[in-house]
């Protein structure tokens, strides 16, 4: 049987009720395909209200599609993007960007998955002229793949550094709402206002059925490229209204914030309830909706009989637990109790 | 104001009620991502029931994604696919296949968009050894882009010819249900039983919110390739259950057939009501849910003030009218009356 | 045994003596790699003298490399190049351009392999917005693949038409010297002065060991792209001096003209000697160094026992005979005599 | 003025006299293009004699072309190659492999540029199923980019480990002859006999004008792929005889060994003459024809006024000096003396 509540990923969550209702409501009559419909117009306007009137936005089906389309609109095939070697772009997109764009992803060693200007330096002077693809962009995940948050100053500093070296700044924001909620800022304040040029704004992990939004803030000529890249990258929905309607609802009445805040609160609650469990070692800051914990293998196995979650790194082993918009306090408490039991069992051999 | 009923495309249609209900019903609790869920299991079984137990099936977001993923699972980059020069693959996918796969699409001149073995011949002896990409597959659309149907014998003959020349047969079945309904056959009878190796089975144009299914029938080793291609082609949904649930519902109780039959009937009705209109010349067989008609430019303009549809070929000019699962008899009758009026107006200068 | 003289292709020719001497002469001491050497500097200057001081030139290893690098410097992956369906780019480069660039080649039906503005028209209005790759360039071969020549007015008209539609004009000039010689014009007069934007200037088929030159005339920002494309396309020679030295010698003292004129003269001589042979039907104009002739299959087989040449089209069948810088009058006369004998044998059954 | 002798790279060397003579000798009469000529047949036989009768060999224009063609014949676009992060493939080929193949290069952190099985381990268990390109090959440079040599046992161990994990082993042997000479072994003994599956056998850096040979030893079905990949990768020379003739001469009478041994001896001589110079710190083993030395910046600048060589790493700074088949004892002695002078000048401020 499928466990009733998963702590594996926010993509295990159901569609948030208001988002599902928006799909149902959009199902009235015919609508022109490919985005020339009122829902898409309205969703675009919401993004422009949120991020600024010059924002160019288009929607993709999934996160890999968003990252690939975003970067492929900017980079030419002899240009490269630098990202943490732990980035989703590097580790979880099956090389889709390289295959689609022909460009190179340069993985950069970082501390804890967070990129600092100093990490970039060796790669920028490694020129070699035409013998090496020209660094043209950096891509960071906010929050990081380990659920930690870049502080505003850190992003501003990265943007300054990047722009000073002719690099475009992309943020993989599959969970940008969780970061915004945790920082108590609007998405705009933690991206465009700090110098970010392009954002993959996540929907799927924040209550949508599916859908991501690629936002360009920079005053560049990406508009034309973006339209073709979206189509070529197989990310142009014919019945676009059903993706747009979801974003329209997500950005209405700060739902994006409400969902993400709830997910974050559930992770905090889980953290509080297991932080003192003997046999659980939490080495990373719990900033958003993810908890990483080193747990003994036997305890993991016992726990996985009841709950679904991933071992993120087989080495330690370190597990990852994710909460989401539909996680309840009761879910957390049951899971925390199960963690406690599974670890306790361990001590008695 | 958006016209209430569009005759532009079946992708202008709303989600069929039972399909939408399936999405709503699937929205219960958490589910493992990327297809490891009961809905996907059930949908896969329905395809195996429909097409045979060895059928390998995976879902994509849209039709371009389905065609690209299907062909990229089979072809290596120095192999080519032959298709009618009017094929969606050639004219409406923005070169996504070439960009993603690196392979060549060879457009073949045909009569009325239907491929015959004789059309292929010059391309097969044009060898040039390593100087020309090796033909490895043919791709045909059933029905054609002009709404006409390949008879069973025609497909069988094409498959025989193709297999005899080492070519794999792909069918772009974005509207395969309409063809099956028109022929009074099951999808299986008009594909796998005739020798078709791979099918893009359309969902979006037959009542789904979004979703296409790639089916491999041939006993080949595409399984591994397909899984990676689906991911690399940015077609792997994390919340897969919502696509699977739609296909599960579509294949249940012959809904695919019901929707398609209705669309076809509406096209027939429209045909009957406008075939005698002076100023309307219908040169193509109305086999499914599409009517192509040469109409005077003035009449088109008048008609487009009330109804949304495309001019398919600016030359004659020839318009395309498509019906779908939600088109009503009343819609058709109103449209037919408007056609009559628009054309009548013409005669009086 | 290898036949002493081939009529198969100008790439069957040996290196012209002065070119070989230039290689030998360049073999003195060390030289900086990748083109930062005096030979490359000198060769570049010769191209700038020949085509104008703003000409950007770089060298590639072979003709496919030249065409791919030229077009990939200009096109983005969602842009397309239109060319005759008989173009080398379409038929003899194994899809290298599609694979490397991801762009689409759109083959255009033409009369006798020569592109006219009228041929382009249907492809330019076939827009479909983002659904079809945007036409961005045309590529023509001068002379055509059938050895015929575009007159100056024809190229000027094509360039005007192309520029008027936002298209860049590329000329595949693998045999541009033969065309220039035939027209009694300089290469500049038949390219840049007529509006051509980019030229693949052939060396290999005009006496070089290997080497082609890509020349950009248009005042555009291709310089940066070109350097990276040359490297990525695996066309950057480390010991560049040996390619440059050949071009330096080829452009010195009008050797390019001398070699090509000789080759053309040999083709004319061959034409004169076989035009009246019963059993030989020459349907194409013999403008340069190629003769195409329809000959009976038995006669071809007899002739191929002694001489190496290709059957270009198995249908009629039509053979292609090419002369080159090393073809002698004696070679031609022996071959013509053999043609006469082979065809004569035929008549007596 | 160009310095008479460069220590920058073995690609700054002239063509070795016997190789140039082979080109001259091959320049007799016509020859069929694309490799169907006696020189190519003979060169292939020499490789089969050297590496075993089942060896599949084809020639490319340059080293990047060889590596790209070798790996692209084996990998599918969702497969990855692991190599040291200092590999030429990763740092000096401008992402040509990624662009051409669509596959991912995974740079592995190593000690001193030499790959050990332990370095690979974390990348092999990093599976993620379809979310990460499947490791399919490793690529190592013998000697390393730092001029150090893998001992036979090290390569054998790597091959065992790789094969045990389903990985194909490619060796970038741009300087394989220098390694063979240093180890006192035949090329076969240090590759195929240890388990290497595929070798880029360098010619350009060992006395050729240009040319590399890709050799497949494994009993796999690469033959067909290789022919198309060579053409698509723009590496198929039409006048192939001139590349083949060079390889024919290089493998005749152990010239490959003589040239490489000489280059190695010159590096040893240079090492002996500068190892005790105060201000020169040689941290890497001088195994072949390269010396890496940390030298003060001022001394480098003084020395570069007279001799051409590269600063390999601006950090320390560390310079790289390469000797080659044409480097003379006198060249070395003059250079060593100049090093001594440049460094001595330093001490006196």
Q: Taking a C-beta distance cutoff of 8 angstroms, is the pair C44, C69 a contact?
A: no
Contact (CB<8Å) A234/B4: no
Burial annotation A40-66 (CB, 10 A radius, 16+ → b, else e): bebbbebbeebbeeebbbbbbbbbbbb
Contact (CB<8Å) B24/A24: yes
Q: How many CB pairs under 8 A join A and C?
A: 41
**Which pLDDT value is given to residue A140?**
98
**Residue A336 in domain:** yes
When scoring D76, D238, D243, D321 by the number of chain C Cβ atoms within 10 A, the one with the most, hence best to mutate, is D238
In this prediction, residues B236-250 reach a mean pLDDT of 98
**Which pLDDT value is given to residue A319?**
97
Rounded to 5 degrees, φ, ψ at B102 are: 80, -5
**Which pLDDT value is given to residue D345?**
76
- Per the listing, tokens 């306007």 go with A45
Strands C134-141 and C79-84: parallel
The domain total for chain C is 2
Note whether D329 and D190 are same-domain residues. Answer: no
Query: Among B2-6, D204-208, D222-226, which stretch is predicted with the lowest mean pLDDT?
Result: B2-6
For C210, which of D31, D242, D326 is closest by C-beta distance? D242
pLDDT tens, position by position, D286-326: 999 999 999 999 999 999 999 999 999 888 999 999 999 99
A79 to chain C: closest CA residue = C228
Note whether C264 and C232 are same-domain residues. Answer: no
Note whether C181 and C278 are same-domain residues. Answer: no
Go through chain B and tell me how many residues it has: 349
CATH number, residue C332: 3.90.1150.10
- In angstroms, the separation between the Cα of residue A313 and the nearest Cα of chain B is 19
Question: What is the pLDDT of chain A when averaged over all its residues?
Answer: 94
Question: Measured between alpha carbons, how far is residue B348 from residues B261, B282, D164 in Å?
Answer: 38, 22, 83
Categorize the per-residue pLDDT at D127 as very low, low, confident or very high, splitting at 50, 70 and 90. low
DSSP element (H, E) containing A290: strand A290-295
Rounded to 5 degrees, φ, ψ at C125 are: -90, 0
- In angstroms, the separation between the Cα of residue C303 and the nearest Cα of chain B is 21
Q: How many CB pairs under 8 A join B and C?
A: 66
For D130, which of A78, A94, A98 is closest by C-beta distance? A94
Contacts of C325 (CB under 8 A, 6+ apart): C10, C13, C16, C206, C207, C259, C260, C262, C263
Q: Taking a C-beta distance cutoff of 8 angstroms, is the pair D148, D284 a contact?
A: yes
Question: Measured between alpha carbons, how far is residue D174 from residues A24, C278, D147, D212 in Å?
Answer: 63, 57, 11, 8
**Which pLDDT value is given to residue C129?**
86
**Residue D166 sits at the chain B interface (C-beta within 8 Å):** no
For C260, counting Cβ atoms within 10 Å of its Cβ (0-12 exposed, 13-18 middle, 19+ buried), the class is buried
Rounded to 5 degrees, φ, ψ at D104 are: -105, 135
Residues 224-283 of C with CB under 8 A from D: 228, 231-239, 242
**Which pLDDT value is given to residue C1?**
39
CATH number, residue C96: 3.40.640.10
- In angstroms, the separation between the Cα of residue A211 and the nearest Cα of chain D is 19
Contact (CB<8Å) C237/D210: yes
When scoring D239, D243, D304, D310 by the number of chain C Cβ atoms within 10 A, the one with the most, hence best to mutate, is D239
B32 to chain A: closest CA residue = A12
Q: Taking a C-beta distance cutoff of 8 angstroms, is the pair D100, C96 a contact?
A: no
- Per the listing, tokens 């695919």 go with B256
Note whether D163 and D289 are same-domain residues. Answer: no
**Residue A344, pLDDT above cutoff 50:** yes
Categorize the per-residue pLDDT at B2 as very low, low, confident or very high, splitting at 50, 70 and 90. very low
- In angstroms, the separation between the Cα of residue D280 and the nearest Cα of chain C is 25
User: Which residues of chain D are within 8 Å of residue B68 when distances are taken between CB atoms?
Assistant: none
Contacts of A39 (CB under 8 A, 6+ apart): A26, A31, A240, A241, A244, A245, A248
pLDDT tens, position by position, B313-335: 888 999 999 999 999 999 999 99
**Residue A41 sits at the chain D interface (C-beta within 8 Å):** no
Look at residues A213, A237, A253 and tell me which one is the last residue of a structural domain.
A253
**Which pLDDT value is given to residue C126?**
59
**Which pLDDT value is given to residue B221?**
62
Note whether B160 and B107 are same-domain residues. Answer: yes
| DSSP per position, D163-218 | HHTT-EEEEEETTHHHHHHHHT--TTTTTGGGT--EEEEE-GGGT-SS-EEEEE-S
**Residue D145 in domain:** yes
Contact (CB<8Å) A131/D93: yes
Contact (CB<8Å) D78/B228: yes
Contact (CB<8Å) D94/A78: yes
- In angstroms, the separation between the Cα of residue D233 and the nearest Cα of chain A is 14
Look at residue A262 and give its three-state secondary structure: helix
**Residue A212 sits at the chain B interface (C-beta within 8 Å):** no
pLDDT tens, position by position, D35-52: 999 999 999 999 999 999
pLDDT tens, position by position, B19-66: 999 999 999 999 999 999 999 999 999 999 999 999 999 999 999 999
For A104, which of D77, D98, D109 is closest by C-beta distance? D98
**Residue C13 in domain:** no
Contacts of D316 (CB under 8 A, 6+ apart): D294
Contact (CB<8Å) A95/D77: yes
Note whether C77 and C225 are same-domain residues. Answer: yes
Note whether D69 and D200 are same-domain residues. Answer: yes
Contact (CB<8Å) A231/C76: no
Quote the DSSP letter at residue C250: H
Residues 87-146 of D with CB under 8 A from C: 93-96, 99-100
User: Which residues of chain D are within 8 Å of residue C24 when distances are taken between CB atoms?
Assistant: 20, 24
In this prediction, residues C7-14 reach a mean pLDDT of 97
For B338, counting Cβ atoms within 10 Å of its Cβ (0-12 exposed, 13-18 middle, 19+ buried), the class is middle
Note whether D34 and D178 are same-domain residues. Answer: yes
Percentage of chain B beyond pLDDT 70 is: 97
Contact (CB<8Å) D61/C64: no
Quote the DSSP letter at residue B324: -
3-state helix, strand, coil in chain A (%, to 5): 45, 15, 35
Crossing angle between the packed helical segments A255-274 and A329-347, to the nearest 10 degrees: 20
**Which pLDDT value is given to residue B315?**
86
Q: Answer with the residue of higher pLDDT: D122 or B200.
A: B200
pLDDT tens, position by position, A162-216: 999 999 999 999 999 999 999 999 999 999 999 999 999 999 999 999 999 999 9
**Residue D10 in domain:** no
Contact (CB<8Å) B95/C105: no
Q: Answer with the residue of higher pLDDT: A128 or B262.
A: B262
Contact (CB<8Å) B128/C103: no
In this prediction, residues B156-171 reach a mean pLDDT of 97
Contact (CB<8Å) C130/A227: yes
Q: Which two three-digit tokens encode residue D239? A: 């006048």
pLDDT tens, position by position, C77-95: 999 999 999 999 999 999 9
**Residue D101 in domain:** yes
Q: Which chains have at least 3 CB atom pairs separated by less than 8 Å from chain C?
A: A, B, D
- In angstroms, the separation between the Cα of residue B71 and the nearest Cα of chain D is 14
Note whether C178 and C313 are same-domain residues. Answer: no
- In angstroms, the separation between the Cα of residue A39 and the nearest Cα of chain D is 32
- In angstroms, the separation between the Cα of residue C322 and the nearest Cα of chain B is 17
Q: Which two three-digit tokens encode residue C342? A: 């082979």
Note whether A55 and A203 are same-domain residues. Answer: yes
For A30, which of B12, B232, B233 is closest by C-beta distance? B12
Q: Which two three-digit tokens encode residue B85? A: 């020069």
In this prediction, residues B189-198 reach a mean pLDDT of 97
User: Which residues of chain D are within 8 Å of residue C15 when distances are taken between CB atoms?
Assistant: 27, 239, 242
Go through chain D and tell me how many residues it has: 349
**Residue A287 in domain:** yes
**Residue B305 sits at the chain C interface (C-beta within 8 Å):** no
**Residue D304 sits at the chain C interface (C-beta within 8 Å):** no
Look at residues B223, B253, B283 and tell me which one is the last residue of a structural domain.
B253
**Residue A6 sits at the chain B interface (C-beta within 8 Å):** yes
Residue B60 backbone class (left: φ over 0; alpha: ψ -120 to 50; beta: rest): beta
> Which residue blocks in chain B are alpha helix, DSSP H?
17-26, 38-51, 63-74, 88-91, 96-101, 117-124, 152-164, 176-183, 222-232, 241-251, 255-274, 297-304, 329-347
Quote the DSSP letter at residue D15: P
Percentage of chain C beyond pLDDT 70 is: 97
Return d(Cα D37, Cα D239) in angstroms, integer: 9
Contact (CB<8Å) D131/A104: no
User: Which residues of chain B are within 8 Å of residue A15 when distances are taken between CB atoms?
Assistant: 27, 239, 242
Contact (CB<8Å) A228/B94: yes
Residue B13 backbone class (left: φ over 0; alpha: ψ -120 to 50; beta: rest): beta
Range of the domain at A98: 18-253
In this prediction, residues A331-338 reach a mean pLDDT of 97
Contact (CB<8Å) A99/D77: yes
B95 to chain A: closest CA residue = A232
Note whether A86 and A137 are same-domain residues. Answer: yes
**Residue D246, pLDDT above cutoff 70:** yes
**Residue B138 in domain:** yes
Question: What is the pLDDT of chain B when averaged over all its residues?
Answer: 94
**D288: preceding bond cis by omega (within 30 degrees):** no
When scoring D82, D100, D104 by the number of chain A Cβ atoms within 10 A, the one with the most, hence best to mutate, is D104
Look at residues B213, B228, B253 and tell me which one is the last residue of a structural domain.
B253
Q: Which chains have at least 3 CB atom pairs separated by less than 8 Å from chain A?
A: B, C, D
In this prediction, residues B190-217 reach a mean pLDDT of 97
**Residue A1 in domain:** no
**Residue A304, pLDDT above cutoff 50:** yes
A77 to chain D: closest CA residue = D99
Contact (CB<8Å) B94/C126: no
Return d(Cα B192, Cα B49) in angstroms, integer: 13
Q: Taking a C-beta distance cutoff of 8 angstroms, is the pair C312, C282 a contact?
A: no
Percentage of chain A beyond pLDDT 70 is: 97
When scoring A75, A102, A226, A235 by the number of chain C Cβ atoms within 10 A, the one with the most, hence best to mutate, is A102
Nearest CA to A155 out of A201, A204, A122, A188 is that of: A188
pLDDT tens, position by position, C277-329: 999 999 999 999 999 999 999 999 999 999 999 999 888 999 999 999 999 99
Contact (CB<8Å) B78/D102: no
- Per the listing, tokens 């595929």 go with D198
- In angstroms, the separation between the Cα of residue D193 and the nearest Cα of chain C is 30
Rounded to 5 degrees, φ, ψ at C293 are: -145, 135
Note whether D138 and D150 are same-domain residues. Answer: yes
**Which pLDDT value is given to residue B219?**
64
């Amino acid at each position: 049987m499928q466990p009733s509540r998963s702590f594996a990923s926010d993509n295990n969550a159901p569609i948030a009720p208001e988002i599902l209702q928006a799909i149902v409501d959009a199902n009235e009559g015919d609508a022109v395909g490919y985005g020339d419909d009122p829902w898409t117009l309205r969703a675009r306007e919401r993004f422009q209200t949120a991020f600024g009137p010059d924002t160019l936005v288009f929607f993709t089906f999934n996160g890999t599609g968003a990252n690939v389309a975003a970067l492929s609109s900017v980079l030419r095939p002899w240009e490269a993007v630098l990202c943490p070697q732990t980035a989703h772009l590097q580790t979880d997109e099956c090389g889709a960007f390289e295959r689609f764009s022909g460009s190179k992803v340069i993985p950069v060693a970082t501390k804890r998955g967070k990129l600092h200007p100093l990490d970039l330096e060796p790669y920028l002077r490694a020129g070699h002229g035409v013998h090496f693809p020209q660094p043209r962009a950096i891509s960071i995940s906010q929050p990081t793949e380990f659920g930690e948050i870049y502080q505003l100053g850190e992003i501003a500093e990265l943007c300054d550094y990047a722009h000073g070296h002719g690099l475009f700044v992309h943020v993989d924001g599959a969970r940008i709402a969780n970061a915004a909620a945790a920082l108590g800022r609007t998405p705009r304040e933690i991206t465009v206002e700090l110098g970010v040029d392009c954002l993959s704004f996540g929907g799927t992990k924040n209550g949508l059925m599916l859908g991501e939004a690629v936002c360009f803030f920079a005053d560049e000529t990406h508009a034309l490229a973006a339209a073709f890249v979206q189509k070529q990258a197989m990310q142009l929905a014919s019945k676009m209204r059903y993706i747009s309607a979801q974003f329209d609802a997500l950005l209405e009445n700060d739902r994006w914030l409400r969902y993400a805040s709830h997910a974050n609160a559930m992770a905090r609650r889980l953290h509080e309830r297991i932080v003192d469990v003997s046999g659980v070692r939490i080495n990373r800051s719990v900033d958003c909706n993810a908890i990483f914990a080193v747990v003994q293998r036997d305890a993991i196995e016992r726990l996985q009989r009841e709950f679904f979650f991933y071992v993120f790194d087989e080495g330690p082993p370190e597990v990852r637990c994710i909460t989401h918009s539909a996680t309840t306090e009761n879910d957390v408490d049951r899971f925390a109790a199960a963690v406690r039991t599974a670890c306790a069992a361990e001590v008695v051999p």
